[in-house]
Structure 1
């Protein structure tokens, strides 16, 4: 399957230490053999049952994969590559996020999930099967403290009509489990809901059992919510830690999104703002790269809120009919606000965009653009105003 069609999880969840270092060592050897100075990413195919691997491609350029890697780690790859091209050695460069030398590998204390968006339903006579040719028109990147949280966020980002890892979106079809399609994730959800075992799904999909078990955790917890006589604080907290949205919880317990939100606020159950710092908190860092999670000590935010910013909502995922032109509008808006002497907050989740560059705004929330999340950010930041007209179709 083409890299652009694949779901990507970082850091790697299923590689052993030996496999990881084998691929890392090979990458360094390849880059040194070609004499590449600057940015390069290598795509591998690794046999999960042995240490046999193939190099699929070597990209000695800033591709979508490197944009994703840069946004996922907070390491400014393009900036560093440009400086290296000018002949400045890496040892003399500093990472603008941490203030430390750029000579270190980023380490993550959070989980990132990238999911492509396909708009195949807008075309007639187009196969929904995905493979070695790229059909996706955009991608999203979500950040969470657990895989379950990041996965559910990402699924909502891809399509605003999806509530999460939802078993009611598609019906069970073994053929769709065997051959990947643009909606296979929801067929897996339906199969887990029907009682398919992890081993049976592995035999059909060849998706690693680790991920299938994590997906099963979500479906199992949805059933617990649906059967609970009352939505208590521990039940609601666990649901939020697993990435359930208010609307998703409301569907499970036969309630409304507003009612769940009010219950959550009554319990003082609100998300915590965390910083992406590239060094897994091993070194003090002050960065405006932010995400929200429920997997943290309540109200232990990584920064202070000054209530003097203007919030701009981005355009979200690229789709047919809404693409880079709306990101250009959002960036123009941020620059004009900065010229007027105002501090800015950007909310967006598209790693391909300029608006999600670390130096475009005073604070960047890599978060969903949904009623729940935008209101959570608004209640924390209490901005002077919110500009929602720059993001095209989504806001």
Structure 2
């Protein structure tokens, strides 16, 4: 097994640091679901599962300890050193005590907070709403407060820890802007967004602002001197509110934290935190596939036909209306990680049965444009005009995840008239959405028609690539737009590139030899390379040599 990313947790003791890392690694909803699932298993089953290491091992250890399994027994089946299990046993004892106490007293709440049990965990243990759990912490004079890791306010690395009583808050930097980085160090995504965060911090400093970073990635490309302060904290609305309450920033930038950061924009706005850039409503609209389809129809922009089905029969009828092949998935899967290509009615019938389609679990059914060329573009928009440095063409046909497909800049086979059409579509949709900052768009070109597939008003993995190939610091320019500059003031050049740039993906199939290497809508790559050369052939050949496996040198290879 190989890890796909990393997070960091910092606290005043092991349990606080571990709790922070757990919340940074995954969402509270997933943690709650895991805890409930483990609670249904008996001790013997848990011990049997603990023998084999797994991503859920830590949750299973806590579940076993809650059921009375001794630390000695867990050490014997896992091989984990006893002192670590003893620390977890302390937390499990506290959790059992809290769960058995309908109205915990302030002393017990304080003890729990010192062991890393926060409001969300407390709500789960007590079976109460989050607001009630937060009230218990408030009554016990427990609050989250930022604290420098070194103990000195001049330190650049900070965290947030539970504090007891009325502590004097640390002084904010003043005239600052908070930059939210990626939630965790996911391979194939995080390093690109970290690149954006670093360039954003530089742009803020050049504009005379202090840069405050929030990032839970231990392997972050953002060094300790890139930002004036870096908070090692999970990317949750509660943590971001804590940082903003302490720093009183002029605003917060979410566009470099990916979709997870952008979906918190409305919550932060309601809490009085000024979110810089694109309106939160535009982000919500882009992720609502049905509403967005209606908008594209109103704007006269071709796009795949789409619909929602809440019964198996409705799914079959909708498929006949749209036509095969189809791309199906859950409406809740906003990032498309679990989409499946359906080629005919038999495949759909089996999928509908497996997915248990119902009113509570509807199915999103979308036209899949087969044998199309997929094209992608990153753009800047200031609300009045749009700048597209270049269009990126996927070498694989549409249907391969954009993180897996090889990408060439400028387009190698897309006709210039289609490139112009793509630019016009981007301008129309960006101005309609009132984008201020970055925009990523995906298109499919088939039979002389350009279809708009997706719009994401935030930084995506291609942004550093297009910045390097076109020599345009896109992230810095986006921050300048958020601070009030216009594209006209930047005087960005539009020119033909004198070279080709190709991004090729790295896959793990040489290690996982029994894995099906067929590419599709779910991302499989674990890395990437970027190569630039005067000609397309040399650029592609070199990129495959770097990413592996290399192209054959003769017909017999």
Give the TM-score category using the shorter length.
Answer: 0.5 to 0.7
Root-mean-square deviation (Å): 2.4
Offset, 1:359: 0.8
Matched, 1:215 2:88: yes
Matched, 1:203 2:70: no
Q: Which residue of 2 aligns with 1:29?
A: none
Matched, 1:141 2:8: yes
Q: Structure with the greater relative contact order (CA < 8 A, sep ≥ 6): 1 or 2?
A: 1
Q: Which residue of 2 aligns with 1:227?
A: 100
* SS of residue paired to 1:376: helix
Q: State the alpha-carbon separation in 2 of the partners of residues 233 and 191 from structure 1.
A: 27
* SS of residue paired to 2:72: helix
Unmatched segments (≥5 aa) in structure 1: 1-129
Q: Which residue of 1 aligns with 2:189?
A: 322
Q: State the alpha-carbon separation in 2 of the partners of residues 176 and 317 from structure 1.
A: 27
Q: Which residue of 2 aligns with 1:177?
A: 50
Structure 1 stretches (4+) deviating beyond 6 angstroms? none
1:164 touches 1:245 (CA, 8 Å); kept in 2?
Answer: no
2:9 touches 2:18 (CA, 8 Å); kept in 1?
Answer: yes
Q: State the alpha-carbon separation in 2 of the partners of residues 164 and 362 from structure 1.
A: 35
Offset, 1:274: 2.5
* SS of residue paired to 1:293: strand
Q: Deviations over 1:218-263 (max 9, x none)?
A: 1111111111131332222222111112111011111122332344
1:309 touches 1:345 (CA, 8 Å); kept in 2?
Answer: yes
1:336 aligned residue (186, 193, 203): 203
Matched, 1:251 2:117: no
Cα 1:245–1:393 change in 2 (3 A) is: farther
* SS of residue paired to 1:294: strand
Calculate the TM-score normalised by the size of structure 2. 0.43
Cα 1:166–1:211 change in 2 (3 A) is: farther
Offset, 1:176: 2.5
* SS of residue paired to 2:185: coil
Matched, 1:154 2:21: yes
Matched, 1:346 2:213: yes
Q: Deviations over 1:122-146 (max 9, x none)?
A: xxxxxxxx4xxxx112111111111
* SS of residue paired to 2:252: strand
Offset, 1:175: 3.2
Offset, 1:214: 0.8
Calculate the TM-score normalised by the size of structure 1. 0.59
Q: Which residue of 2 aligns with 1:289?
A: 157
- Worse-superposed segment, 261-270 or 370-379: 261-270
Cα 1:164–1:255 change in 2 (3 A) is: closer
Q: State the alpha-carbon separation in 2 of the partners of residues 372 and 154 from structure 1.
A: 15
Cα 1:227–1:305 change in 2 (3 A) is: same
Q: Deviations over 1:99-144 (max 9, x none)?
A: xxxxxxxxxxxxxxxxxxxxxxxxxxxxxxx4xxxx1121111111
Q: How does 1:1-395 map to 2 (within 5 A)?
A: 130=1, 135-161=2-28, 162-163=30-31, 167-170=35-38, 171=41, 172-265=45-138, 267-277=140-150, 286-294=154-162, 298-301=166-169, 303-319=170-186, 322-355=189-222, 357-395=223-261
Higher alpha-carbon Rg: 2
Cα 1:165–1:214 change in 2 (3 A) is: farther
Q: State the alpha-carbon separation in 2 of the partners of residues 263 and 297 from structure 1.
A: 14
Q: Which residue of 2 aligns with 1:91?
A: none
1:155 touches 1:165 (CA, 8 Å); kept in 2?
Answer: no
* SS of residue paired to 1:215: helix
Offset, 1:297: 7.0
